[in-house]
Amino acid sequence: MHFFSDNATPICPELLAAIAAADQADHGYDGDAWSARLDGAFSALFDTDVKALWIATGTAANSIALACLCPPYGGILCHEEAHIVVDECGAPGFFTHGATLMPLPGAGAKLTPDMVCERLTAIRPDVHQVPAHAISITNATEYGLVYAPDEVAALGDIARSHGLGFHMDGARFANAVAHLGCAPADLTWRAGVDALSFGCVKNGGMVGEALLFFGGQAQARAAQAQRWRKRSGHLFSKGRYLAAQILAMIEGGLWLRNAQAANAAAQALAQGAGDRLLHPVQANELFVRLHADEAAQLRAQGFDFYDWGEGAARLVTNWSQDAASVAPLAAALAALDHG
């Protein structure tokens, strides 16, 4: 059983069906009937006017969002372990034409308002220093922690008062909402978020995330994002297959059910892992203390996962699992505990 990554998982059947259903002639690019429904579907989900674009990957969605929020000479406050910092080979620098990522520390890959304010204060307001223009957070974070609405809002307040754009990398946004049980709106625009990379692929899609813009500048930013999308080779000629997947994900609530399943599987594993946990488990990722020989034992039992430095491992659950299906690993972890 694989716990490598939610990327390693197959497509969920409803999305394969949606692809098949979209398999008919229509206009190219985003001129098709499916793409045309995105704004409406996301506006319904978020209870406000949303401008939505399909974008192939999370890296591209993040980078295009940042390019709309930050000029080339600006900076983006973010966590030092954020995906945009450590796992995108400099994509934000490419799309923003050289804007500066301003990495900050923080437990569980979460930014705190204090840390952000302190960094903002340290920037001299002269032409020699890079001025901050945006804040970017990941929810759920790279360590599987979830920002609650009030935590997001605290950062959103800072963003607003300093005239900064506010971006959320939501590669696992669904897992965050599933954990919180809140309205998507509460975690985003009501908390000051301007742009959201809404993840689908880790949650059961084949290809295609959604980039969402909220608020008064949504239309202008989306228009700009459409230029970036084309200019970066991301305007697929058969965009309807991406739009169809995204619609299948959100129109009937599949996005949330899939995330709930993955989260439940993670909770089951967390029970088994006990005090091995390096971080609280809130979404679908677990980071556990695990000696090399313990890891070998688990692998010998057919459980695959990545090491996370020395003496630790990362376990990622996914939409196709639930508490029952991961019970064998939970038991194996618990058995190690007493070994």
State in angstroms the smallest separation of the CB of 6 from a copy of itself: 9
Stretch that binds a copy of itself, among 124-132, 179-187, 287-295, 326-334 (CB under 8 A): 124-132
Q: Tell which positions 130-169 bind a copy of itself, by CB under 8 A.
A: 130
Among 46, 213, 228, 287, binds a copy of itself (CB under 8 A): 228
Task: Based on the shown chain and the rule CB under 8 A, indicate whether residue 11 belongs to the binding site for a copy of itself.
Answer: yes
Stretch that binds a copy of itself, among 27-35, 43-51, 186-194, 322-330 (CB under 8 A): 27-35
Distance CA 329, CA 3 (A): 10
Report, in Å, the least distance between residue 268 CB and a copy of itself: 19
Write out the binding residues for a copy of itself, residues 186-225 only, by CB under 8 A: 201-202, 206-207, 224
Contact between residue 26 and residue 236 where contact means Cβ atoms under 8 Å apart? no
Distance CA 145, CA 24 (A): 41
Q: For residue 296, how many other CB atoms are within 10 A of its CB? A: 11
CB half-sphere exposure, 320, CA atoms < 13 A = 18
Stretch that binds a copy of itself, among 8-16, 111-119, 252-260, 323-331 (CB under 8 A): 8-16
* Per-residue tokens: 117: 């304010």
For a copy of itself, the closer of residues 78 and 180 by Cβ is 78
Whether the CB-CB separation of 61 and 95 falls below 8 Å is answered with no
Span from 153-161, 237-245, 253-261, 284-292 in contact with a copy of itself (CB under 8 A): 237-245
Nearest approach, Cβ of residue 1 and a copy of itself (Å): 9
299 interacts with a copy of itself by CB under 8 A = no
Instruction: Report the alpha-carbon distance of residue 220 to residue 182 in Å, rounded.
Output: 28
Q: Is 322 an interacting residue with respect to a copy of itself (CB under 8 A)?
A: no
Q: Which of 47, 160, 220, 238 binds a copy of itself (CB under 8 A)?
A: 238
Contacts of range 118-122, beta carbons closer than 8 Å, 24 or more positions apart: 119/77, 120/77, 120/158, 120/162
Q: Provide the minimum distance between the beta carbon of 111 and a copy of itself in the complex, in angstroms, as a whole number.
A: 18
Nearer to a copy of itself, 87 or 337 (CB): 87
- Tell me the C-alpha distance between 275 and 254, whole Å: 33
- The residue among 25 and 338 lying less far from a copy of itself, judged by its C-beta, is 25
Check binding of 20 to a copy of itself (CB under 8 A): yes
Site for a copy of itself in 49-108 (CB under 8 A): 55-64, 71-73, 75, 86-91, 93-101
Site for a copy of itself contains 43 (CB under 8 A):
no
**Residue ranges in 239-258 that form contacts with a copy of itself under rule CB under 8 A:** 241-242
| Of the candidate residues 163, 216, 233, 339, the single one contacting a copy of itself (CB under 8 A) | 233
